[in-house]
Each structure stands twice: as C-alpha cells, then as structure tokens.
Structure 1
Amino acid sequence: MAAMVDSEYVAASQDTDPRKLHEKWTKALVKSVKADVWGQVIEAVDEYTALSNDIVAQAARLQMTENDNVLLHRVVCALKARCDCATAPDGATTTPTADDMKKIVPAFEELFAGEKAEYAPFPLALEQLEKYIAESFWLDETSRKLQESVKPGGVLVPASEISSTGSHVSLELVDVGIKDAESFQNPFIRVTVMDRKGHLLEHKQETPVADRQHRYQIDINTIVHIQTSVEELREKDAAIFLELVHYKPLKHKHSTKAWSVLEMDELTSDLKVLEIYKKPVQPSRKKFKLLTTKKLFLQVRVHVK
C-alpha cells in the first residue's frame, strides 16, 4: 500500500497548478481520513505521511496568500501530529483523533479561494499541534511566528520579537460595547496599522476569540504588541485600526461588523474609550459614521514603552 501511495505522488509531483494540486490533495486527504475512521491505521498513516511530504515539497513553489500559507501549514502539522498519535503506545498520545481529522476536510476544501477569502477558524487547537507548529517547513520566519499565539486561536506577535529601537505600543484590548453581543459567532479583534493611503506598515494581528459575550458587551482581554515604533508611526502619519470581526456560518466567511481607530495623539499610556464606526474601515480617516447613537464604546488600555 505504501509503495502505491509513493508512486502516485511521484507521478504528480511535477504539477504546480494550485487548483490541480488542491484537487489531488483533497482527494488524498478524504481517502486518508476514511481509512483512519475505519480503523485502517497503517494505511492511514502511510497516506497522511505521503500527503504531508508532497505538500511540503510543493508549497514553496506555489503563489499563495498569507491565509493559504497558514492554513496549509496547519494541515501539515495536523497530519504529522495524527501520525504520531496513531503510532504511539497506548495512552501516550491521545490527540488529534480520527474524528478530529474529519473536521480538517471542510477547512482544507476552502484552500486557494482567492486573495480576499477569509477562512473559518482552524478546527484543531494549536495545543494539539504544538510539537510541529514551530517548524517552518516552507514558511518564512515571519509568517511562521505569526501563527504562534500568546493565547490559543489568535494570530499575535510576541513582545520579544519587536525591535528595541524607539518607543513601542502595546494594546490591552478590554472589551467592545455592541448591541446583541451574544448573537455574534466567534468574535475577535483584527489589528491593522496603516497610513492614510491604506498601506500596511506591518502584518495584521488577530486576537483569539472573545472570552465572554453578554448583552451589550464582548470581552476581549488580550494584549497586542504593535511592531512599528511610535516614531515611525508618527513619521508616516499612520494609525492603528481595530476591527470587530465575526464568523458568518451561512456564508462560510468572516465579516467586519464595526471598527475603531487609535490616532497618534491617543498613543499615551492610559485607558482609551473609543467610538465605534460603521464599516468599511476608512484609512484616510476623513469619513466617520457611528455604528449606533447608544453609548457603546471599545475600551483599550494603551501602554507605551
């Protein structure tokens, strides 16, 4: 069985069309998971191993968005983690399970959906993949580190990775005041640093899913470390944009509900109570439309060092 799998992948290894590779990889993943669920562990491990090896071999040559890169990297981590679990002595490793691998298939089917695609949260917690999540495989160092969260589920840069040059800002995102807070699925805050023309000054960061939702409030309770120095932010007339993002299951995508902004004159160490605006985000900062007339705000504690 293993020899047949190897020859299949060797025969197709010259193909670098993302769509054809995606179709091939999806079929292989479905086949692997089916064997796993049926208890055909040896066959499943052979299939998982061949698939992960082929993805690693091909990925560096593909033109992919950052979201595609992260999703594909997590799939490879899951494949390797499942092989470890399936071949470990009884009780030594219990996750991810065969049922966990079934959850990966719908996520994998979203791959290569385009530049504007926003994928659903990856179905496995990063703790289940911790042995492999730090391995780069084909990712550059920056993209890999963006996967590693201070709290599970987010896309955050640790403070230790920030240059010591100049002053830097850390944002302690406290909560968001919004009507029907409990109705939002998997809400989080996306943090973007842009100049007035919409040019990004650094990678976007995303908090983990909110800690708690109740009536008019979504609790975030996450610290985000801005990578760009205060001096450079001021020089480029930039601002820090905070988007409230939630998942729409019927449309299988994330959507921005509202946004706030921290201007340069607000980057002082204390609690800020920010107005919340209707989407879309306005990098030019010339047009602001309040989301509601109710006294609902986004609270963030700014720390400048």
Structure 2
Amino acid sequence: MTSFEKSVEKWGTALKKSTDFDSWGQLVEASKEYIRLAKLLRMSAVSTDCADDNKKRVLLKIATCLETRSKNLNSGNSSEDIKLEDLKKLIPVLQSLTSVSVKDVPVAVTAKVEKQKQIRSASNTPSSDNEDDIFQNTESYAAAVDLCKQQNTPVATERVENYLMFGVDVHIQVPLEILSKGSAIFFELFHYKHKRRSTSSKCFSFMELDELKPGPCVIELYRKPTDFRKKKLNLLTSKPLYLHLVLTITKQL
C-alpha cells in the first residue's frame, strides 16, 4: 500500500468520524474535524504524493465542501450551504481515489459552493491608494480570500501621501493549472472604525486568471459589498485610486 493509499484510508475514517459528530449534534467537534481534514486534503493536493491532476481537483472540491460545512455550523445558517447529507455523499468519492475509476464530487453538491469563487495567486505584494476622505487611519489590512480560508495581511505599515503601504507577500499554495475557468483572485480592504470599535470592509478588487502575469500591475477598486459573482461592480471613486500589486508566478520543475 502506497503512502497516498494509506492517507486516503485515514481520510475516509476521519470523514466518517466528522459526520458522526455532526449527526449527533456535536457541532463544535464536527466543525473542528472538518477543518482539520480539509487542511490535510489541501496539503496533499499540492504535494508530490498526489501526481494525478484529476485526483487533486477532487481533493480540493472535497476540502471546499468540508470548510463550507464548518462555516455553516459556526454561523447557524443552513439555507444555501452544504448539509450533512451532502457530506455523506463524499465518503465513496474519497474512497474511490485509490481505484482506477475516480469518482467526482456530485454536481448537486458542488453547485452549492459555486458562488464562492476560488481565489488564488502565486505571490503578491499589495499596496493601496488612499486619501483623507477614503481612509482616516493606517489600521487597515488587505485580505486575499480563498475558497475556504481568508488570508489576512498585517495592518498597513505606513501611509505615504495617498498610499497605504503593506509590503508583505501572500502565497497561495494551489497550482494555477488546477483553477477552473471563471475563477478570480479577490482582494478586500478592511479598516478599523474607532467610534464603533469594529472592523469593516471598505472596498474590494479582483483579478481574472488571464490577468495573472509576472510583474507589477494596477487594478481598480470597487465599492462594497464584495461581489464574488462580478455582476454588480461600482467604482469606489472617480478619483485615480487603485490597488498596486507585484505578482510572481513560480513553476515547479
């Protein structure tokens, strides 16, 4: 038995354990197990243990479903998210990864998380334009949103004229070749409101896959709320304010 086959066996057991917790009403335990398993699946999808692109796609789909279910349990909203019955359908799919004929995640299940766009990039260094009527402080941070997990940068390190400077790299550990058509990379800018003592979204931006090219780039800022469907887009301001990035795309030999 290969290391990958052993892993699949352990994942199947873990998924059964997670759904058992879920069905018994132990939602906290179920949520933690879903997240733990999702991380393992994503790590395997980008490792050398799984060389089959089809299996990688299946692993990422299952991980997405697990994370969505975990988020659903934590929010208490089940109107449009993954249900327990959906996750039980994933057990035979996961087990099929060791067979010649690999099953795919049911379309009825993946359709429920289709609205959550896959947000990926190889590496980027963000900075953002800024004016007094746009942001009143440097306690802001940019967020690169993943299909399952949001990655937050530290707060802006400094403000230079109309710019908020972040100076950090955000690495997305998923090959671009795996991303499906229509995927995009979204960036959200959050700022802290002292009077309300709360963090709020200010604006967002995104990049299509065909825009991912090495080097510096400038992309437009749109008004909140973030629209992952890219249907209702309104510029943040008529002033020349943009998100500045430097992209680095690496290839594994």
TM-score w.r.t. the length of structure 1 is 0.42
- Greater relative contact order structure (CA < 8 Å, 6+ sep): 2
Q: TM-score, normalised by structure 2?
A: 0.50
Higher radius of gyration, 1 or 2: 1
